Structure 1
Amino acid sequence: MIRVGFRWLERGSCRHPQAATIKGGSLCAVDFPAMVGVIAHPSRGNLLFDTGYDPAFLDATHPFPERLYRWTTPVEVGAGEEWQAWLSRHSIARDSLAGLIVSHFHGDHVAGAARLAGLPLYCARAGLSALRSGPRLARVRQGLLPALVPQAMDAHARFFEDAAQRALPSAFAPFTSGRDILGDGSLLAVELPGHCPGHWGLAFINEDDCPILLAGDAVWSGRSIAENRPPPRLTTALLGNTPLYRATLEQLHRASCNGSDVAILPSHCARSAAAFNAGDAG
């Protein structure tokens, strides 16, 4: 696989009772960062994996029934998370951005999508279809805010399902294949079903030869992977498919134990992010 540069950066956060994200967890509210992957491709430029939170989330959840989303998921978007401030703080040139890769279309993953309008949008057809269809209240209940992804972006969508299938290196076992979204073998989208329709992760190897699997919301914490401990059924049934979610978690657990030191990074795990950014890749 072609090696790519990679940074795992926070952009905003929300609060949930821990018990909603892992079976047997505390009822106390916990801060969950929204992580963004900045992928530096050697010839394409920078691609973002998800966008984290953005002030646009607050605008989209101002009316009712969208306001229910904000009430049930209190969000913190500081001044440093505003788009230009965030780019500047992390030395990301706006004109270096070459595309957006979306794990799924929940509001905390696409809140800043409009900032990349006109660029290629790499996503699942099933996820975009869910965003664009169904009653308004039902989409809010499913964590979908269509206003965050301007309709014009659909014309720039390049679907995971249409990309060529390619074998994954053994470091990612038991995951065996992914979809070659750029056509050069550098970034392979891996379906991680269960959390919601059209939920995918991303597998690649960084410039330090570390195999990395961005897991999106297939789990909320590294602890869940290590202990093979899912959220309560109520949580997984509300958003997606519990049997599929638990099967995906089982695969992630097996990957974490395969001896390859693959770095599996959930999108909302502060501990996993801190360990990875401190150089503890496994």
Structure 2
Amino acid sequence: MRETAISLIRAGHCVHPQRMTIRDGSWRSVIYPALSVLIIHPVEGPMLFDTGYDPAFFAATQPFPERFYRWLTPVTLAAGSEVASQLTRFGLAPDDIRHLILSHFHADHIAGAHAFPGAAIHCSRAGLDAACSGGRIASVRRGVLRALLPPDIAARARFFEEAPRVALPDALQPFDMGADILGDGSLLAVELPGHCPGHWGLVTNDQAHGEHFLVADAAWSTDAIRRDMPPPAITSNFLGSARRVEATLRQLNALWRRNPAIRLTPAHCPERAAEAGQ
């Protein structure tokens, strides 16, 4: 695989009772950072995997019923900590982002999408269809804020399901197939079902760490992967399918056991957030 340069960016956080995200957790509230990933491709240049939170989240959750989302998952976003502003740390501006890769359409993963109007959007067709279906109450219950979807997303979208299918490196077993979203083998989208419709991760060859698997919300932490400890079924079934969440987590645990050195990055992992420099 062609090498890319990877930087993690922490863009705000929310708080939840820990027990709602891991079965043996406590009932105390803990911080869940929202990570975006800056990927520098040697030909295509800078791109982002997810966006974390953004001031647009607070605008989208001002009316009812969307405000319930803000009440259920209180969000903190310091001034200037949205991804679009943090790009200056890397000598970049939002207009430099040519590709935006969205793991799924929950608000904490797409809130900053509006800041990159010139970027192609790589996403799941099934995920986008689900995000655009149903009424406002149903959308909020599913973790979707439709106001955060770029209005021209249909024209800019490039769907994982339509990208060429390729075999993954042996180091990724038991995951065996990916979608080659740029056509050069450098970014391989991998379906990680269960968390919600159209939930995908991304594999790239990180020049610092080798194979790097961005697993989005397939797990809440690297600790959960190592211990094969899923969320309570009530949490998983609220947004998706507990049965499929647990099956995907078992695969991630099997991958880690087979290859403990592999780099796995969940979107809300505190261990990874500590490396993000923000």
> Could you tell me the TM-score, scaled by structure 1's length?
0.95
Counterpart Cα distance in 2 of 1:161 and 1:260: 29
Counterpart residue number, 2:160? 160
Alpha-carbon distance, 1:107 to partner: 0.2
Counterpart Cα distance in 1 of 2:85 and 2:114: 16
Counterpart residue number, 2:129? 129
Inter-CA distance 60–228: structure 2 relative to 1 (3 Å threshold):
same
Letter in 2 for 1:207: Q
Counterpart residue number, 1:58? 58
Alpha-carbon distance, 1:206 to partner: 1.1
Counterpart residue number, 1:255? 255
Counterpart Cα distance in 1 of 2:265 and 2:212: 8
**Stretches (4+) displaced over 3 A:** none
Pick 1 or 2: higher relative contact order, CA cutoff 8 A, min separation 6: 2
Counterpart Cα distance in 1 of 2:74 and 2:82: 17
Secondary structure in structure 1 of the residue aligned to 2:258: coil
Listed one character per residue, the Cα deviations across residues 178-215 of structure 1 (whole Å, up to 9, x for unaligned) are 00000000000000000000000001111135111001
Q: Contact 2:103/2:201 (CA < 8 Å) preserved in 1?
A: yes
Q: Percent identity?
A: 49
Counterpart Cα distance in 2 of 1:183 and 1:265: 23
Listed one character per residue, the Cα deviations across residues 20-57 of structure 1 (whole Å, up to 9, x for unaligned) are 00002011110111001100000101110000000000
Counterpart Cα distance in 2 of 1:130 and 1:5: 32
Counterpart residue number, 1:186? 186
Inter-CA distance 230–13: structure 2 relative to 1 (3 Å threshold):
same
Counterpart residue number, 1:46? 46
Matches within 5 A, 1:66-105: 66-82=66-82, 84-105=84-105
Number of residue pairs the alignment of both structures matches: 277
Any unmatched runs of 5+ in structure 2?
A: none
Greater Cα shift, 190-199 or 128-137 = 128-137
Letter in 1 for 2:141: R
> Could you tell me the TM-score, scaled by structure 2's length?
0.96
Counterpart residue number, 1:219? 219
- RMSD between aligned residues: 1.4
Letter in 2 for 1:147: A
1:109 aligns with 2:109: yes
Alpha-carbon distance, 1:89 to partner: 3.2
Any unmatched runs of 5+ in structure 1?
A: none
Letter in 1 for 2:189: A
Counterpart Cα distance in 1 of 2:67 and 2:209: 44
Counterpart residue number, 1:206? 206
